[in-house]
Amino acid sequence: MTSKWLIIIASIGIFSIACAPLRPLGPDMNISARTAAAQKWIDSRNITGISEWDNVLLPWLGTPYKYGGNTKRGTDCSGFVSSVYMEKEKISVPRTTKDGFKNGKSVDKSSLIVGDLVFFSRQGNGNNVNHVGIYVGDGNFMHASTSLGVTITPLDDNHWKTLYLGARRYL
């Protein structure tokens, strides 16, 4: 087997753990309730209160989930984050959740600001980072959900608060 094929196979293995589906919707909130919750941001045209961020983030709301995607036609969590950062800040952030968590400046949850990246893990440790979103203020983060596409969810959501791993600042 050539080294080219080994690199491709290793890349597929690494990529397959990033943004893996985390769970079905919990009993605390169904799809229509979460969709309705996100509708307030769409209607108000205001997610962060910062027009430079809102102008980039609003068109992503409702984008369908697509594993490996990074466009408004379909995206996964790290594709969403990397595309938003490239569009808004013209900077590249790591494409995988694991690499994204390894880099950037560590930020305490109490010190989050708009644009910080928030990371989650099923095992609650940095060895299995499998979801990322962008902190949008007021305790909420925007992310690509496997069941809802790009949406906004409170960090203190019963599911997500148990999986929260930490945050990184790239700005």
> Which candidate in 100, 131, 135, 167 is catalytic?
131
> Which candidate in 38, 57, 77, 112 is catalytic?
77
> Which candidate in 34, 95, 98, 143 is catalytic?
143
Place of tokens 């013209």: 90
3-state secondary structure of 103: coil
3-state secondary structure of 62: coil
Residue 143 appears among annotated catalytic residues: yes
User: Cβ distance 112 to 167 under 8 Å?
Assistant: yes
CA 123 to each of CA 5, 128, 158: distance values in angstroms, whole numbers, following the listed order: 30, 7, 16
Could you give the CA distance from residue 123 to residue 134 in angstroms, rounded to a whole number? Answer: 21
Residue 131 appears among annotated catalytic residues: yes
Q: Which residues are catalytic?
A: 77, 131, 143
